[in-house]
Structure 1
Amino acid sequence: MKVLHVIPSVAPIQGGPSYAILAMVKALRSQGVEVEIATTNDNGPKLLQVPLNQQIEYQGVPIWFFSRFALPMKEFIFSAALTRGLWQNMQNYDLVHTHYLFSYASTCAGAIARHQKIPYIVRTIGQLSPWALAQSRTKKRLYTQLIEQRNLQQASAIHCTAPGEAEDVRKFGIYTPAITIPLGVDIPVPCPEARKVLGEKYGIAADIPVILFLSRLHYKKRPDLLLQSLSSLAKEGHSFHLCLAGAGEPDYLNYLQTLITSLDLTAQTSLTGFAADRDKEILLQGSDIFVLPSFSENFGVAVAEAMAAGLPVVITPGIQIAPDIASAQAGLVVEGEVDALAAAIAQLLNSPELRQQLGENGRRFAQSHYSWDAIAQQLAAVYTAVVQKQPLPHSLTQLRD
């Protein structure tokens, strides 16, 4: 069985989906599934410096890179070269697995797969949530009517990562069978010196709790709400240091910097920039609390990574693994309001014991539910069922005709 994954970009700057697909393909290949990726050389405002129009090994994964259109087009990322590559080579695969909606690469792959009668699976990455659909509503409505509706309705399956995402698919009027398989995270190797290294790097005293925000710096993620909540805590005398870790558009970064200054949080905040590899592990293992007050996340890879590192998490209901976190007692789920978020953070700042208990609960949950090996086995079973035209595994199916 040979499977092709199609995604607009694998650049780390694009966040969780790019990270997840690389780990997903590695795990599938370790299970004996022959998997490759087709994508563009997009890297946000820049380009990845990689060979084009040929298969190469990139971060341990076989990938075909194609040139994107000269001007970045946000998430749409048009690529004529990708179109040619898919048209000429898709018949070499038994199944196609696309990632993203309302984006050229996934739309093009679905259309070519239908024309060439190759089954395909669509991962929506939360783009059918009410919040996501409200962004550029008119464009998305038109795009849906012209293209995306058929793309979804004629897929062999919809890949969701949480039950809430599957519910959004049904509410959107899509009755294609949906399978619910979460994303995975790597369980980190303990780094005992992480807190010391973090403190030395950002000038944080050993007795000051560290609050970590690790995600794209984007209004969807609401780092501004976190800053406003922390401002109220600082006025009440709470001690903390905030690490805002992530990349973002220059205008939004300037807005955050201005907000930090106006809220008098400069001495208590570090903008670390994009963090990967060891820098990321130091942040995860050296912090005390993880906070992500996002409007909407279909899964939230960074949340799962924080849990795997043993951090208690404070999140909002728009993160669709929130019910799992609440039932596992791995963190606090609160409404996205200044007072509610501030109260939750204060509760954890005031209780090291609660932080430790929630963190341990989260670590155990991540180990048992977010194992890439287990997820790859589930995906392989779905692939086999689709290719052999058998029923999808009942335990994974959320929506059925």
Structure 2
Amino acid sequence: MRILHVIASISKVKGGTSQAVLEMVRALQSSGVTAEIATINDSGRNLLDVPLAQKVLYCQVPIYFFPRFSPPLRAIREFAISPPFITWLSQNLHRYDLVHVHALFSLPCTLTMALAQFRDIPYVVSLHGLLCQWSLQQSALKKQIYLHLIERWNLNGSSGLHLNSYLEQSEISKLGLAAPSFILPHGLQISSKYPDAHQKLRYWLNLPSDEPIILFLSRLHPKKGIEILIQALAQLVDQRFTFLIAGSGDPNYENEIYTCLQQSGIGDRTRMLGFIEGEKKDLLLQGADLFALTSYSENFGIAVLEALAAGLPCVVTPGVALSEVIKQQDLGMVPEMNEAAIANAIRTCLLQPEVTKEKGDRARQFIVENYTWDKIAANLVEIYDAIIQNQPLPHRHA
């Protein structure tokens, strides 16, 4: 079984989706599937420094990188245009049994779906939340035109739409797409326990050994609702805590967040750490007391999954798809999307540290049992095989 995965960028600055695709392909390889990625060397304002138009091993994954057309106009760069990619795709697509396309509204993905239809090669599309209501409302006119003129035809021609949650399925159903769909969550590579993470994190940040730490770890983007989280924390004047923001985004938006912190009065209780990865990321997740993500829309929430796997209880809002799992399994709290409700949930967690820790211990065990990549990859291989054999989709929920 030969599977080609196509995504516009696998750069870390593009958020959790890029990392998830790398881990998915790595897990598929471990399960015996010949899986490769074709992508563009796009890295936001920059380009990845990688060999081009040849197969290279990148993060232990075989990847073909192609050069992005990079004019000064940002609106054009965002489409990840790459003529060499188009040429390579037209010459090599026939070598694969199935194509797995990740995301929409970029030229590599759009052309891959169109060419696969033309060549009668089956393809699956992972939507990664891009057709959820909140996402479609951003740059709404451009997306609606793109969707109705081009992507609807591509989506309806797919052998399966990969959704991450029932919440995403509910929102997608309103679009009336003809293609079948299946729900399969992201997986996770479980990190080893970091020795004495609680004390080491506070030593690194020069904080008292008993300082409560609230962690926001995600890409800085307006949909993450961090301004509401800041205003909620500002209501907790009677509580002792340090707020950590680990993530990066557009520099202008980062400045807006900094200004919001200062105006809210919690600037002196907050550390903006920037983009964090590797051992320091593990240290943050395992050494903090509480994870908070008050997102307007999160079709899954990889950062939430990472926090739960680290044994870190979570406060998330209903727009985060994993909120239902958190409520059902009692792995944290799910307040409504308003400042008072969020503040009350965080206060409750801070005032009940033993109960909160129990939720965290339960969270790690639950994730280990249900969300590792080997389990997800096994389900995905079953779906690929059914499509290639022209059989009904297993795990189908539509």
Fold match by TM threshold 0.5: yes
Matches within 5 A, 1:2-401: 2-71=2-71, 72-73=74-75, 75-234=78-237, 237-393=238-394, 396-399=395-398
Aligned residues: 395
Segments of 5+ residues of structure 2 without an aligned counterpart are none
CA contact (8 A) 2:50 2:65 kept: yes
CA contact (8 A) 1:314 1:334 kept: yes
Work out the CA distance in 2 between the residues paired with 1:224 and 1:75: 26
Letter in 2 for 1:164: L
Work out the CA distance in 2 between the residues paired with 1:302 and 1:225: 18
Aligned partner of residue 245 in structure 2, secondary structure = strand
Deviation of 1:195 (Å): 2.2
Calculate percent identity across the aligned residue pairs.
43
Work out the CA distance in 1 between the residues paired with 2:171 and 2:369: 26
Deviation of 1:75 (Å): 4.7
Moved more, 281-290 or 159-168: 159-168
Work out the CA distance in 2 between the residues paired with 1:352 and 1:365: 20
Work out the CA distance in 1 between the residues paired with 2:297 and 2:271: 25
Letter in 2 for 1:242: F
Measured against aligned partners, the alpha-carbon deviations of 1:23-72 in whole angstroms (never above 9, x if no partner) come to 10010000000000001111111111000001100000000001112145
CA contact (8 A) 2:203 2:209 kept: no
Aligned partner of residue 128 in structure 1, secondary structure = coil
Letter in 2 for 1:151: N
Work out the CA distance in 2 between the residues paired with 1:385 and 1:363: 32
Q: What is the root-mean-square deviation in Å for CA atoms of aligned residues?
A: 1.2
Measured against aligned partners, the alpha-carbon deviations of 1:258-286 in whole angstroms (never above 9, x if no partner) come to 12122222221111110111111011011
Work out the CA distance in 2 between the residues paired with 1:161 and 1:75: 24
Letter in 1 for 2:29: R
Segments of 5+ residues of structure 1 without an aligned counterpart are none
Moved more, 71-80 or 369-378: 71-80
Work out the CA distance in 1 between the residues paired with 2:253 and 2:223: 11
Letter in 1 for 2:293: L
CA contact (8 A) 1:126 1:297 kept: yes
Give the structure-1-normalised TM-score. 0.96
Work out the CA distance in 2 between the residues paired with 1:46 and 1:398: 39
Deviation of 1:77 (Å): 2.1
Work out the CA distance in 1 between the residues paired with 2:207 and 2:229: 19
Deviation of 1:318 (Å): 0.8
CA contact (8 A) 1:8 1:75 kept: no
- Aligned pair in 2 of structure 1 residues 75, 328: CA closer, same or farther (>3 Å)? farther
CA contact (8 A) 1:97 1:120 kept: yes
Letter in 2 for 1:224: E
Moved more, 60-69 or 203-212: 203-212
Following superposition, which runs of at least 4 residues in structure 1 exceed 6 angstroms of deviation?
Answer: none
Aligned partner of residue 397 in structure 2, secondary structure = strand
Letter in 1 for 2:259: T
Aligned partner of residue 233 in structure 1, secondary structure = coil
Deviation of 1:127 (Å): 1.2
Give the structure-2-normalised TM-score. 0.97
